[in-house]
Amino acid sequence: MTRRAIIAGTGSALPVRRVSNEELARTVDTSDEWIVERTGIRYRYIAGENETTGTLATEAARRALDAAGIAPEQVKLIVLATATPDQTFPSTATKVQTALGIADCVAFDVQAVCSGFLYALGVAESMIRGGTADVALVIGSETFSRILDWEDRATCVLFGDGAGAVVLKAEEGERGVLSVKLHADGRHNQLLYVDGGPSTTGTVGKLRMKGSEVFRHAVVNLATVLGETLEAVGLSAEDVDWVVPHQANRRILDATARKLGLPPEKVIITVDRHANTSAASVPLALDEAVRDGRIKRGDLLVLEAMGGGFTWGAAAVRY
């Protein structure tokens, strides 16, 4: 039997405040019509003063642990994906550790922007297979609202805040994470970046994006990595029960599914209500579809994401 990391539970958390396109259009030169037509986004959640990447991550992690029936002290590894940590250091993962009352475990952050959850899943899964831990929390949490230029209509309407988490548990058998494929190509740094940082400007900076160029790369890279991930486990698009994609733009989701010949009904969509929550979007979508009963035990899931760097990746999971 093969030792694998199974998804034992999922959880998510959103800020209290929901903001509609109409509300944004009162302060930015945009319209509900433009945003819906070009992106599919209708709402996003924006963190309040007391809500941070760390608090949202903790809430999502608690829900995932409850769903898995696992106590915090059983967690031996926390991998948290974020590009918007509470502080430059210490890691937000150690903040979650403390908030959950876990005395000792391995805890660190992973930075791969919108692909962060896939990277974190890949790292945690291989650490579980290698024997570092039997139980891990893998979290994607972001407060992109804090790094948006609220005067740049081309970016500020696209993002939102939130967190999602999964509990991974070592188990022998057929279920679990079957394959994770990750990529990066730093030649495209300048297409999606933040114009500040501790070692350059000494400031946090604001998000900058050449949206239409990112769009072009996204469809090609995502379709390719999904094919690669399925091929690695000897499966094809017809075997897939659910696609759980990064939620950047409804048009990217539709185009990627078309390219792979996957019917749109198999794609979990949350971009309309959450907007782009970067590393949080895949686990947020996963948790929603698990809780509403669409995703069932034994289903074959493919998770995928693409983001700044560029980074991109996909995973095949027997849920």
Which residues are catalytically annotated?
114, 246, 276
- By CB under 6 A, the count of residues binding ligand UT7 is 21
Interaction pattern, residues 88-117, with ligand UT7; x per rule: CB under 6 A: --------------------------x---
Q: Does 154 engage in binding with ligand UT7 (CB under 6 A)? A: yes
In angstroms, the CA 65 to CA 231 distance is 32
Query: Measured at CB, which residue is nearest to ligand UT7?
Result: 211
Cβ partners under 8 Å of residue 104, min gap 6: none
Comparing CB distances to ligand UT7, the nearer of 152 and 228 is 152
In angstroms, the CA 73 to CA 50 distance is 26
Minimum CB separation of residue 95 from ligand UT7 in Å reads: 24
Stretch that binds ligand UT7, among 98-106, 123-131, 196-204, 210-218 (CB under 6 A): 210-218
Residue 179: name the closest of 145, 227, 140 by CA. Answer: 227
Q: Does 223 engage in binding with ligand UT7 (CB under 6 A)? A: no
The answer to whether 99 and 42 are in contact (CB under 8 A) is no
Tell me which residue has tokens 């939102």.
160
Stretch that binds ligand UT7, among 61-69, 128-136, 247-255, 290-298 (CB under 6 A): 247-255
In angstroms, the CA 211 to CA 306 distance is 13
Q: Does 211 engage in binding with ligand UT7 (CB under 6 A)? A: yes
Stretch that binds ligand UT7, among 33-41, 42-50, 96-104, 254-262 (CB under 6 A): 33-41
Residues 254-283 close enough to bind ligand UT7 by CB under 6 A: 276
Q: Does 200 engage in binding with ligand UT7 (CB under 6 A)? A: no
Stretch that binds ligand UT7, among 100-108, 117-125, 152-160, 259-267 (CB under 6 A): 152-160
The answer to whether 170 and 185 are in contact (CB under 8 A) is no
Q: Does 153 engage in binding with ligand UT7 (CB under 6 A)? A: yes
Angle between helix axes 250-260 and 32-39 (nearest 10 degrees) is 20
Q: Does 175 engage in binding with ligand UT7 (CB under 6 A)? A: no
Q: Does 7 engage in binding with ligand UT7 (CB under 6 A)? A: no
In angstroms, the CA 129 to CA 275 distance is 34
Comparing CB distances to ligand UT7, the nearer of 55 and 249 is 249
The bridge status of strand 3-13 relative to strand 161-172 is antiparallel
Angle between helix axes 116-130 and 281-291 (nearest 10 degrees) is 70
Q: Does 252 engage in binding with ligand UT7 (CB under 6 A)? A: yes
Comparing CB distances to ligand UT7, the nearer of 124 and 271 is 271
Q: Which residues pair with 13 in a beta bridge?
A: 163
Cβ partners under 8 Å of residue 256, min gap 6: 218, 219, 222, 223, 226, 245, 304
Q: Does 249 engage in binding with ligand UT7 (CB under 6 A)? A: yes
Minimum CB separation of residue 142 from ligand UT7 in Å reads: 11
Q: What 3-state class would DSSP assign to 209?
A: strand
In angstroms, the CA 314 to CA 118 distance is 6
Q: What 3-state class would DSSP assign to 166?
A: strand
Residues that bind ligand UT7 (CB under 6 A): 30, 34-35, 38-39, 114, 153-154, 157-158, 211-212, 214-215, 218, 248-249, 252, 276, 306-307
